[in-house]
Amino acid sequence: MKRRLLEKINNRTATVAVIGQGYVGLPLALEFAKAGFHTIGIDIDATKVKRILAGDSYIVDIPSLELKRVVDSGKLTATTEFSAIREVDCISICVPTPLRKSKDPDISFICASVDEIKKFLRKGSLVVLESTTYPGTTDELIREPLEKMGFKTGTDLFLCFSPERVDPGNKQYNTKNTPKVIGGATPACTELGNALYCTCIDTVHPVNGTAEAEMVKLLENTFRAVNIALVNELLMMCERMGIDIWNVIRAAATKPFGFMPFYPGPGIGGHCIPLDPMYLSWKAKTYDFFNRFIELATDINGNMPYYVIQRVARVLNRHRKAVNGSKILIVGMAYKPNIDDLRESPGLEIYRLLQREGAEVIFNDPHAQSFRDSEGTTIQSMELTPTMLQKQDLAVIATNHRSYDYGLIVKHTPLILDTRNALLDFQSENIEKL
């Protein structure tokens, strides 16, 4: 079975399914299709499926023309029906893995996908999990349930883990040219997983097993979370000491070795950095190991929106105003520049905290045009105009989108708290850095 599947992969006659058509799944499905495979995108969201079939991209990194061209070629299709798995040879699972309110991993989307796969999986198939999760997930949630059905891993079932490394909005690195890590449950599984991804990814790096591959992604993002927490803590310390942390970082970055610049901000967002370290910490506790670095970093980063509110209050107080009753504009709501992704965005928490303090809060984001507040009300982005800016008591720059006319904002806004150093080139008494 391994030899037969390897031959189908090499001559592009294998059919590939990608479960989950979000920021990870759709770009991956597109690359498989462009590599020559008949590819089926599966998603429970009928709206996403409809847009894929129409060649209408909802992912910032995929132009609609490119998507439509591949769909029209017949290489890429989409469906809400998991029964399509009957036709496929290779399956990649790219579903969300959020945290519960208790900060425990929510692996329900993986479990739901596996339940559907079990109904239709053919012997001799390759299944690859890409969803970020804790070490041991591939064995516990996929290998064990499928082996209970009679599949034998490495013989008539081939199972791998390959951590997604999507960076939405990154113009330099995309799915194809970002190196891919793959680890199989057996050497035969690794060989097949490596062969599949080598057809559409420039560089594939095999590792020793699924747990090792699962740990890779957690290390990558824990590294980032800890270093961001470090500079956030230094930001608060330097502010108290009257030192400009941004100038300090810029100067330190001139060192050509031994230093990597990280930057402070109003908090961390996206699906990976706020969540992945907690997955690792949760799993470590089952081994009676407590990650003090992770817990401390999570605490510092999670409290940055509260620090922003403190700074808002101090800025307004110096001008004899209170947060309660002030008109405050949040400039940028996406979790990072030049994308529309609101997942875990600190801007959302800043909005909630300002409302709680009695401020009249509005926001503008040219990419993320609306969001739902805690009561389920849809909040719409407001147009930036001189009149609107002049009516605000304070603007908080929470996301430094490239498309903003910062000259307009500086000219017409009475007070500005810049949490991203977006106004580096402006000198004005109405600007205060975080």
Q: What is the pLDDT of residue 274?
A: 86
CB 128, CB 162: distance < 8 Å: yes
Residues 6+ apart with CB under 8 A from 11: none
Mean pLDDT of the chain: 95
Q: What is the mean pLDDT of residues 194-207?
A: 98
Domains of the chain: 2-208 (3.40.50.720), 217-300 (1.10.1040.10), 303-433 (3.40.50.720)
CB 192, CB 158: distance < 8 Å: yes
Q: What is the pLDDT of residue 247?
A: 96
Strand partners, 206: 182
CB 338, CB 307: distance < 8 Å: no
CA–CA gap between residue 354 and residue 333 (Å, rounded): 14
Ordered DSSP codes for 51-115? HHHTT---STTS-HHHHHHHHHTTSEEEES-GGGGGG-SEEEE-----B-TTS-B--HHHHHHHH
CA–CA gap between residue 126 and residue 131 (Å, rounded): 16
Condensed to tens digits (0 to 9), the pLDDT of residues 20-73 reads 999 999 999 999 999 999 999 999 999 999 999 999 999 989 999 999 999 999
Amino acid 327 reads K
Q: What is the mean pLDDT of residues 274-294?
A: 90
CB 74, CB 111: distance < 8 Å: no
Q: What is the pLDDT of residue 98?
A: 86
Q: What is the pLDDT of residue 339?
A: 93
Burial 262-277 (b: 16+ CB within 10 A, else e): bebbbbbbbbbbbbbb
Q: With 90 as the cut, is the pLDDT of residue 375 above it?
A: no
CA–CA gap between residue 269 and residue 265 (Å, rounded): 11
User: 276 falls in which pLDDT band (50, 70, 90)?
Assistant: confident
User: 271 falls in which pLDDT band (50, 70, 90)?
Assistant: confident
User: 255 falls in which pLDDT band (50, 70, 90)?
Assistant: very high
CA–CA gap between residue 391 and residue 33 (Å, rounded): 51
Q: What is the mean pLDDT of residues 160-174?
A: 92
Condensed to tens digits (0 to 9), the pLDDT of residues 96-149 reads 998 887 778 889 999 999 999 999 999 999 999 999 889 999 999 999 999 999
- What positions carry a catalytic annotation? 272
Residue among 119, 48, 117, 114 nearest 77 (CA) = 48
Condensed to tens digits (0 to 9), the pLDDT of residues 404-432 reads 999 999 999 999 999 999 999 999 999 99
CB 55, CB 72: distance < 8 Å: yes
Q: With 90 as the cut, is the pLDDT of residue 346 above it?
A: yes
Using a pLDDT cut of 70, give the percent of the chain over it: 100
Tokens of 295: 């817990």
Q: What is the pLDDT of residue 314?
A: 96
Q: What is the mean pLDDT of residues 160-169?
A: 92
Q: What is the pLDDT of residue 101?
A: 76
CB 132, CB 56: distance < 8 Å: no
Q: What is the pLDDT of residue 164?
A: 94
Condensed to tens digits (0 to 9), the pLDDT of residues 257-267 reads 999 999 999 99
Q: What is the mean pLDDT of residues 165-192?
A: 95
Beta strands in 262-353 (DSSP E): 327-331
Strand partners, 125: 157
Q: What is the pLDDT of residue 273?
A: 86
Lowest mean per-residue pLDDT among 165-174, 204-213, 386-395: 165-174
Residues 6+ apart with CB under 8 A from 371: 333, 342, 348, 378, 379
CA–CA gap between residue 294 and residue 243 (Å, rounded): 27
Q: What is the mean pLDDT of residues 339-350?
A: 95
Cα dihedral 89/90/96/102 (nearest 10): 90
